[in-house]
């Protein structure tokens, strides 16, 4: 069994008291936010055979103005999940979900990259629609924030460098795990952006 790890950092803006990422990002009151994600695929061969591929996620959420700096060790990373976009059309999602605990505050976070037939491959694969639902204090008061976080071209190159196989019987197995995941990912993108399929 050979696994794979990689990391990515997405930065952007969110606004309070909204669950609409578009409105949150465009608001004049938006504040800086970023997420660092460490993805761990325990068995790459099994992952690419799953109808809905799911891997482990360790994530860090930072919203400096709000004093939020929290880590989750038990999130999930889901690749090519069927979903519905803001325009109500079918999409495939790259989905990051995690629950963060920071003192008496609990943050449920959902970040979605939305893939659909278009000429916007780079935008779609590097921009996550972020929604944060927070529960605070003994009174369990709730609030929300939403916006976009994005990976930069430099950040994308760094992500590629972090891709590492682990386990397996040899270095060749570990390199093979990286290639297997990469082929699976590219084929999924080709279905959407070359074949123009809403699969």
pLDDT in the model for residue 101: 87
Highest mean pLDDT out of 37-41, 99-103, 141-145, 190-194: 37-41
> pLDDT band at residue 199, thresholds of 50, 70 and 90?
low
Round to whole Å and give the CA distance between 156 and 10: 10
Is the distance from CB of 41 to CB of 91 less than 8 angstroms?
no
Find, among 6, 26, 7, the residue nearest to 129 by Cα.
26
pLDDT at 140 over 60: no
**Mean pLDDT, to the nearest integer, of 180-197?**
91
pLDDT digits (tens, 9 = 90+) for 103-133: 888 899 999 999 999 999 999 999 999 999 9
pLDDT in the model for residue 138: 56
pLDDT at 46 over 90: yes
Residue spans per domain, the chain:
2-152+162-193
Round to whole Å and give the CA distance between 10 and 19: 19
Helix (H, G, I), strand (E, B) or coil at 172: helix
């Amino acid at each position: 069994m050979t696994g794979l790890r990689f990391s990515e950092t997405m930065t952007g803006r969110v606004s309070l008291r909204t669950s609409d990422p578009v409105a949150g990002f465009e608001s004049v009151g938006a504040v800086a936010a970023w997420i660092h994600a460490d993805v761990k695929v325990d068995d790459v061969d099994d992952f690419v055979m799953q109808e809905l591929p799911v891997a482990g996620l360790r994530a860090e959420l930072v919203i400096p103005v709000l004093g939020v700096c929290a880590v989750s060790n038990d999130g999930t990373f889901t690749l090519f999940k069927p979903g519905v976009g803001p325009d109500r059309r079918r999409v495939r999602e790259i989905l990051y979900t995690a629950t963060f605990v920071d003192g008496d505050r609990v943050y449920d976070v959902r970040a979605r990259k939305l893939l659909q037939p278009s000429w916007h491959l780079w935008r779609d694969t590097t921009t996550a629609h972020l929604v944060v639902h927070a529960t605070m204090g003994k009174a369990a008061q709730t609030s929300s924030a939403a916006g976009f976080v994005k990976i930069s071209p430099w950040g994308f190159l760094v992500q590629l460098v972090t891709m590492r196989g682990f386990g397996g019987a040899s270095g060749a197995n570990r390199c093979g795990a990286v290639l297997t995941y990469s082929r699976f990912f590219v084929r999924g993108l080709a279905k959407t952006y070359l074949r123009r399929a809403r699969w």
